[in-house]
Amino acid sequence: MAAPRSGQESVKAEPSAGSQGSSGVEVVLLSDPAAPAPLCPHELGPTLLFVKVSQGKEETRRFYACSACRDRKDCNFFQWEDEKLSGVRLAAREAYNQRCRPPLSRLQCVQRYLRFTELPLTQRKFCQSCQQLLLPDEWGEHREHQVVGDIAITQLRRPSQLLYPLENKKTNAQYLFADRTCHFLVGLLPALGFRRVLCVGTPRLHELIRLTASGDKKSNLKSLLLDIDFRYSQFYMEDGFCRYNMFNHHFFDGKPALEVCRAFLQEESGEGVIMVTDPPFGGLVEPLAITFKKLITLWKEGQGQDDSHQEMPIFWIFPYFFEARICQFFPSFSMLDYQVDYDNHALYKHGKTGRKQSPVRIFTNIPPNKIILPTEEGYRFCPLCQRYVSLENQHCEHCNSCTSKDGRKWKHCFLCKKCVKPSWIHCSICSRCTVADHSCEGPKDGCFICGELGHKRSSCSNIGTPKKARAVRNQKQRKRSKMKMETTKGQSMNHTSVTRKKKKRERAHQYLCS
Ligand code: SAH
Ligand code: ZN
Ligand code: ZN
Ligand code: ZN
Ligand code: ZN
């Protein structure tokens, strides 16, 4: 499953979940970079190389930006690829980096955790302001803060309830699984025969697995959490948590942490392990796919020769509208109909009707007929599709499949020769089905040069075609192009104009709610 990578691969930055707009920034993935990427101020590992693109233009300039923080408010790292930094600027950056680092080392965290658990209940305090467990000699410094006392061992085992979920939209939005989903997963994984779960960005699943395992001697499910949120390092020993950036496969605590992960994946020659990941939806699919392939490689290295054709089982939790994109990188994946829902996400709640249904699904390389979805929640088995589907998802005899993606009953369009959302209409101008109140020349998420869907700028055959043919297209797209120029000007990749942001939001809203 190694990534077929040409020397240089360039992909347009994905719009945020549900949005059909496109941004003017592409990420460039070099298999053989001339120079190592600079490190990001927050030590999130190497930055990614991006390229600014303007529609209809071929000249580009490349720059490094933070891989994890797509919002420039959170990480203002920016450096042109060909830029030479002065000693003064390098020193300033280093000083800034120092300030951004977590206050405690991994080892310190482990030692503190051990000391903390030995304290009597009345001395176990947690500072909500600092999101930190306090030892008695630190109480003084936190006198003015929000401090809660009597932290029980059971609370220590559920850090996702003690810590507040990070709310930053693009970087670190933490959407914690609702109990319904978490219990479903914790029941499903051992039923599928798994004994170890690599939790990548799933802290609540990790803690529930450990909680279940400690309460039930029969369940010997083990779990290792990889997450960028260093607050979790206070609650786990080295073999339970590694601070990790899933956008660039970076272990913050270096080789020892990588070895923890390797040992976990390669235990029992890699038998019985599954990776479950729930990345932030604002993230780019491609860097994630490349990271997951690196984890797959790590797992494969521990396998015997005759197992080499096998794939590491994966659950990748992501919104359904990323299906094509994910399957592009992982052709063996299929999307389950199960609706993943969250505690702290108003839009993503499980529900029988209408708009409140979660768009988040599980993508997996496990055969879908093996994954039994709960009938008490209305899922049923379709013998023709050989998979469990939601109640409203009906088998279309023309498509020969249960076609709904969003949990509602879809209708077949004979002109489009496929099933579409129930509220969509077939527009004769666009000659396709779409939302009723659309503008017929509305933006399409296509190639920056020719505007066609289905390929990207880097592989556009129109590079070098007669200027006239392109001029016609360019004229058509001038409005959109103008918008894009705004977003690519200056140093920001995300300083979108307010109107564009608003438009994008509206489109996302329209898309989700149509
Ligand atoms: N539903 C999951 C949480 C998903 S929220 C659960 O309940 O367990 C996304 C998670 O990914 C958060 O825990 C967040 O800290 C983590 N995350 C965000 N950016 C990351 C990055 N670059 N690398 C690793 N983890 C990241
Ligand atoms: Zn079916
Ligand atoms: Zn159909
Ligand atoms: Zn149609
Ligand atoms: Zn139209």
Q: Supply 108's token pair.
A: 């310190």
| Dist. CA 438 → ligand 5 center (Å) | 6
430: helix, coil or strand? coil
Confidence (pTM): 0.75
Q: Which helix (H) or strand (E) holds 443?
A: none
Q: Which helix (H) or strand (E) holds 156?
A: helix 153-156
CB contact at 8 A, 206 and 189: no
| Dist. CA 403 → ligand 3 center (Å) | 7
Q: ∠ at Cα 342 (509, 210), nearest 5°?
A: 155
Cβ–ligand 1 distance for 443 under 6 Å, the answer: no
| Dist. CA 384 → ligand 3 center (Å) | 14
486: helix, coil or strand? helix
Range list of β-strands (E), 182-259:
196-200, 222-227, 241-245, 250-251
Q: ∠ at Cα 228 (227, 230), nearest 5°?
A: 100
451: left (phi over 0), alpha (psi -120 to 50) or beta: left
Cβ–ligand 1 distance for 18 under 6 Å, the answer: no
Cβ–ligand 1 distance for 67 under 6 Å, the answer: no
User: What is the number of other CB atoms lying within 10 angstroms of the CB of residue 78?
Assistant: 17
CB contact at 8 A, 256 and 242: no
Choose which residue among 236, 278, 362 to substitute to test ligand 1 binding: the one with the highest number of ligand atoms within 8 A of its C-beta. Answer: 278
Cβ–ligand 1 distance for 174 under 6 Å, the answer: yes
How far apart CA 320 and CA 333 sit, in angstroms, is 13
pLDDT (tens place) for every residue of the chain, 514 residues total: 333 333 333 333 333 333 333 445 666 665 455 566 666 655 556 666 666 665 555 556 676 666 665 555 555 566 666 777 677 777 666 666 665 567 778 888 999 999 999 999 999 999 998 889 999 999 999 999 999 999 999 999 999 999 988 776 555 578 999 999 999 999 999 999 999 999 999 999 999 999 998 777 667 899 999 998 889 999 999 999 999 999 889 998 899 999 999 999 999 999 999 999 999 887 789 999 999 999 999 999 988 766 667 899 999 999 999 999 999 999 999 999 999 999 866 554 454 443 468 899 999 999 999 999 999 999 999 999 999 999 999 999 999 999 999 989 999 999 999 999 999 999 999 999 999 988 886 555 555 555 556 565 555 555 443 334 444 444 444 444 333 332 222 333 333 344 454 444 444 444 444 4
How far apart CA 9 and CA 328 sit, in angstroms, is 14
